[in-house]
């Protein structure tokens, strides 16, 4: 049984490491902010979770180690989307996001960036109507 756990654990750790390397390569190779955010969050978190699962299989009888691994996984899953959201807003405010490919730019009104208020008052697809400088947005 120990040999099977070792093999499964090794496969999980190697797959997780490959996903983490893929995330690093994506951060270097991708030129767009949206693509870099995707590469920095999704495969990185999945890779870390696989590595943590592989480590957890090696320490099945150590409750303290498993609890620590679960805390690491929890906080990583909790903070990765928040950091991606902050990066998206900062990139949008600084103009690093190419807006020509956007169909509808809701964030421009919310942060008051370039293009805020353009054709928003007569937009039939906007359920909120004109927002303007609403607090909290």
pLDDT at 118: 47
Residues 87, 93 contacting (CB under 8 angstroms): no
Question: Model's pTM, two decimal places?
Answer: 0.70
pLDDT at 71: 96
SS3 117: coil
CA–CA separation, 75 vs 123, rounded Å? 39
Segments in the chain below pLDDT 50: 115-122, 130-137
């Amino acid at each position: 049984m120990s040999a099977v756990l070792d093999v499964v654990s090794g496969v999980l750790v190697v797959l997780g490491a490959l996903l983490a390397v893929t995330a690093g390569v994506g951060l270097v190779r991708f030129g767009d902010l949206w693509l870099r955010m995707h590469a920095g969050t999704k495969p990185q978190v999945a890779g870390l979770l696989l590595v943590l699962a592989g480590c957890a299989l090696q320490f099945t009888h150590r409750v303290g180690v498993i609890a620590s691994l679960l805390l690491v996984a929890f906080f990583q899953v909790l903070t990765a989307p928040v950091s991606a959201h902050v990066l998206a807003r900062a990139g949008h405010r600084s103009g690093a996001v190419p807006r020509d490919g956007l169909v509808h730019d809701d964030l421009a009104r919310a942060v008051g960036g370039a293009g805020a208020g353009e054709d928003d008052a007569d937009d039939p697809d906007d359920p909120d109507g004109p927002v303007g400088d609403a607090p909290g947005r």
